[in-house]
A and B are shown apart, each in its own frame.
Chain A
């Protein structure tokens, strides 16, 4: 079970339904599945007349065994004062790495009803069945589950919100990458740290983690957190950055940044030495 508070919204929390896997793989798979879903934020739909629908999870990442079936659940909570009529659909996700004719309708199915009314204060649960084909041509399947609010009349613009669902196919999916660069710099009396991650695996890496700035004695003088954001797609490189107030203890001298990042179970570590000059200019060691 996971939950996270958002801006004035406590997200729905739930866990994956029990997967049905073969015995030999069961323990390993369940351990992986325990970390499979990341519910990080809620999505709020607000129709014009005091209707508000909070849906979750905002994204789903899961490991799937070819041929096996899993059920994921999404919720829609009406936080407004009027009924909200919701229509559900699926579509191809961004970053889809499928091949051949493996379209989204062949591996993810929303359970009926696809249209429903959510009364104020109530939560409606939507189930989706994810069944990875036995012969999946790709290590990562990507879909979007869309919520659109339908009133009693048509309107000029169709507005919707879509949640991504990513399925990583066991046997084909490989999470692998490296931190290729850690770059501290002085930015308007703030300390900024850029970290570049190269994805050398076959699925995207949604990187998050933490880092420490240490002095030459190894004492931590500044800690920072990197929240999850845009994933780095397979075979691509992406930069992530954090900023913080210039640490008082960051006087002229030699320091080290240690970055501890992760994408699911996969860990990425990086170390970079640097020197702070009297004018707060930062010179990065050529050799880590």
Chain B
């Protein structure tokens, strides 16, 4: 059995095989990072947990994905995000880094204004990705009233954000920086899209820690028997 570790992964295998059968847990994943200074701090602890039992998990996976019919689907795990952002110039953001030399699989497709490395990389054809999105909520339930769907449908799915990739050409644009910011000053979580320009994003609201990050991916066009994954899901605390 092939051994994977540290992956955000979706398996679309032949229907006779259980989905995700190829993935094996190797490590409990708790990641912590922090910034401290006079008058404030930025820190976070990210713990992957199962939605089914809220127990610590080792990977973020999707099950029940049917090639040809499943579109947007939510992952079986979430990240419990314990954070403190009391600095006025401190932020936490998330992105993928799918062109890194250590990315596996490593995205090799186009990177331009219309195609980016962001998402779950096709393990067979590394020139393509399936779109990936995140959402942060202050509770495990009730925060996503309309379920999963296209973040571009901002009327219905305003609480989802497409993943960006650090290599994409627009990554450093202020609007992109706002978009990929998960937590901002005042420990305000990015609960909805819309408004504001970095570093003054709108649609942030103070929320007591911990908060919860959820993940969805669009499997439209995904192929059976193919693994889509990234081992480069990044959470980054930083200041400006």
Partners in one complex: yes
Contact surface of A with B, Cβ cutoff 8 Å: 4-9, 40-48, 54, 58-59, 91-96, 144, 146, 149, 151, 153-164, 227, 229-231
Smallest beta-carbon distance A26→chain B, Å: 31
Smallest beta-carbon distance A70→chain B, Å: 21
Which residues from A are CB-within-8-Å of B48? 156-157
Can you show 23 pairs from A to B with CB atoms below 8 A apart? A40-B37, A43-B34, A43-B35, A43-B36, A44-B35, A46-B45, A92-B171, A94-B240, A154-B27, A154-B231, A155-B5, A155-B27, A155-B31, A156-B7, A156-B48, A157-B29, A157-B235, A159-B237, A160-B235, A161-B35, A161-B238, A162-B236, A163-B238
Smallest beta-carbon distance B172→chain A, Å: 5
Indicate whether B24 reaches chain A with its CB closer than 8 angstroms. no
Interface of A is mostly: strand
Smallest beta-carbon distance B102→chain A, Å: 9
Residue of B nearest to A91 (CB): B166
**Cβ of A144 and Cβ of B238 under 8 Å apart?**
yes
**Cβ of A230 and Cβ of B171 under 8 Å apart?**
no
Report if A58-B27 is in contact (Cβ < 8 Å); known contacts: A157-B234, A164-B240. Answer: no
Residue of B nearest to A159 (CB): B31
**Cβ of B31 and Cβ of A9 under 8 Å apart?**
no
| Extra pairs beyond A43-B237, A58-B37 (18, CB < 8 Å) | A9-B36, A41-B37, A48-B30, A94-B172, A94-B198, A96-B172, A146-B236, A154-B26, A154-B231, A155-B29, A156-B233, A158-B233, A159-B33, A159-B236, A160-B235, A161-B238, A162-B237, A162-B238
A-contacting residues, B164-181, CB 8 Å: 166, 171-172, 174, 177
Complex: how many Å from CA A58 to CA B174?
Answer: 21
**Cβ of B29 and Cβ of A95 under 8 Å apart?**
no
Q: Which of B30, B31, B45, B172 contacts A92 (CB 8 A)?
A: B172
Indicate whether B152 reaches chain A with its CB closer than 8 angstroms. no
**Cβ of A229 and Cβ of B34 under 8 Å apart?**
no
**Cβ of A41 and Cβ of B38 under 8 Å apart?**
yes
Which of B45, B172, B231 lies at the interface centre, i.e. has the most chain A CB atoms within 10 A of its CB?
Answer: B172
Which residues from A are CB-within-8-Å of B233? 156-158
Which of B32, B37, B174 lies at the interface centre, i.e. has the most chain A CB atoms within 10 A of its CB?
Answer: B37
How many inter-chain residue pairs (CB < 8 Å) link A and B?
145
Complex: how many Å from CA A227 to CA B237?
Answer: 21
Complex: how many Å from CA A274 to CA B35?
Answer: 39
**Cβ of B27 and Cβ of A230 under 8 Å apart?**
no
Which residues from A are CB-within-8-Å of B177? 94
**Cβ of A153 and Cβ of B37 under 8 Å apart?**
no
Residue of A nearest to B177 (CB): A94
Complex: how many Å from CA A188 to CA B51?
Answer: 43
A-contacting residues, B223-240, CB 8 Å: 231-240
Which residues from A are CB-within-8-Å of B172? 92-94, 96
Q: Which of B46, B87, B171, B199 contacts A159 (CB 8 A)?
A: B46
Complex: how many Å from CA A151 to CA B58?
Answer: 15
